[in-house]
Amino acid sequence: MRDGKRALGMLFLGILLLLGNRGRAESATYHEVQAGENLWVISRRYGVALKTLLELNGLSEQSILQPGMKILIEGERDAQSGSLLYEVKQGDTPWGIAREFQIPVRLLLEANNLTEKSILRVGQKLVIPLSGDGRLKASERTGTQGTTQPQVHTVRQGDSLWRISRQYGVDIRSLMKANGLTETSILQVGMRLVIPKETGRTAVASSSSATSWGTYTVKEGDTLWNISRRFGIPLKELLQANGLRETSVLQIGQVLRVPSRGGVPAAPQRAQQGFIWPVNGRISSRFGPRGRGFHYGIDIIAPVGTVVRAAESGVVSYSGWMSGYGRVVIITHASGLQTVYAHNSVNLVREGQRVNKGDPIARVGSTGNATCPHLHFEMRRNGRPVDPLEFLRR
Ligand SMILES: [Zn+2]
């Protein structure tokens, strides 16, 4: 899994590891947690043992990852004197940085002679003290979900109610209700939102309700056209809803009114319940032990270019390249189930996109470790692989 190291565009490269007393700088590899990921997935993706990941990051198998968290993949860290040098990025706040590295904001401020009111400059270097008791215990971590405590989300730069509701798979209205918010409420970075517990009812599942509106906070690189596409509404409608013109200039942090359920008319519900076959074809390899290893999915033989369809409605939580998997799409569904579609010749969906059951999401190929064109299809329940044939109708 050595190529895992080069295969990743999301590595957090702005960090140099300073080995305190030795004064030696080394690069360390970080992975920024994406929605729907867990430690198991990350360990497989980088080919790093789960145990190593846990040790490197002071986590336990029960630790719950929050999107945006930075996970150390490799690079030594001196537990006693180690500290990291972090380069401030657009939109960073001391609070947000402290949260990302899971240290008390007080320690961060002290280590850099800052106050809570200090303004950070992009490019400014901050010392991140990670020594000894600096790191919070799992139970003290922001947003960490205890077994009985309600889940809390701390608002980050770029968050919107719509995005948070999608991230946790909760209905946007329940989210607003739980926090006394309305559709026009503006979120502040650092605000804590209670994530209401919902079983079996998700933002995705509620897609048959009437169009409701949410908000979207403009991020770097956004354009009106991209946003309209992402939310599935005509540009004209987006402009109208926000009193904008095509030539209007977007500001980072600007809050736009967007449909909270994608805006597109809901696809007619297919009569078939449950997961459908992503492609039709012969199964060449089943789930289970294979050779000296274990095959975590099923392989379905199909010609290059065959359309791969979403086995169930959900949100695309990953669309890109993964070591071994080649071009891969991961869709997160209600109740913790995920489907994985690997070795694609082309991916047709983007991260964050909502898809309906049966929608085309990719085309069959043989990218990654594949000897012939086929779809490698996995299903995971709460991050653990399960046999897809238990879910697919024969
Ligand atoms: Zn396979």
* Domain ranges across the chain: 2-138, 151-259, 283-390
Predicted local confidence at residue 140, as pLDDT? 35
Predicted local confidence at residue 130, as pLDDT? 61
Render pLDDT for 2-26 as a digit per residue (tens, 0 to 9). Answer: 444 443 333 333 333 333 333 333 3
Q: Separation of 295 CA from ligand 1 center, angstroms?
A: 6
How sure is the predictor about 138, in pLDDT bands with cuts at 50, 70 and 90? very low
Element (H, E) at 284: strand 283-285
Element (H, E) at 346: strand 346-347
Predicted local confidence at residue 176, as pLDDT? 79
Residue 49's identity, in one-letter code, is A
d(CA 52, CA 72): 10
Q: Separation of 166 CA from ligand 1 center, angstroms?
A: 29
Render pLDDT for 122-136 as a digit per residue (tens, 0 to 9). Answer: 888 887 776 433 343
Q: Is the pLDDT of residue 101 over 90?
A: no
Same fold, 2-138 and 283-390: no
Cα angle value 185/162/66 (rounded, 5°): 105
d(CA 11, CA 13): 6
d(CA 215, CA 229): 15
Mean per-residue pLDDT, 63-73? 75
Whether CATH 2.70.70.10 fits 283-390: yes
Q: Separation of 297 CA from ligand 1 center, angstroms?
A: 6
Mean per-residue pLDDT, 346-370? 93
User: Is 9 strand, coil or helix?
Assistant: coil
Mean per-residue pLDDT, 211-240? 77
Q: Separation of 394 CA from ligand 1 center, angstroms?
A: 19
Assigned superfamily of 2-138 = LysM domain (3.10.350.10)
Q: Assign a CATH topology to domain 151-259.
A: Membrane-bound Lytic Murein Transglycosylase D; Chain A (3.10.350)
User: Is 40 strand, coil or helix?
Assistant: helix
- Give the closest residue to 155 by CA, choosing from 123, 201, 120, 186: 186
Q: Separation of 335 CA from ligand 1 center, angstroms?
A: 24
Residue the block writes with tokens 């190929």: 365
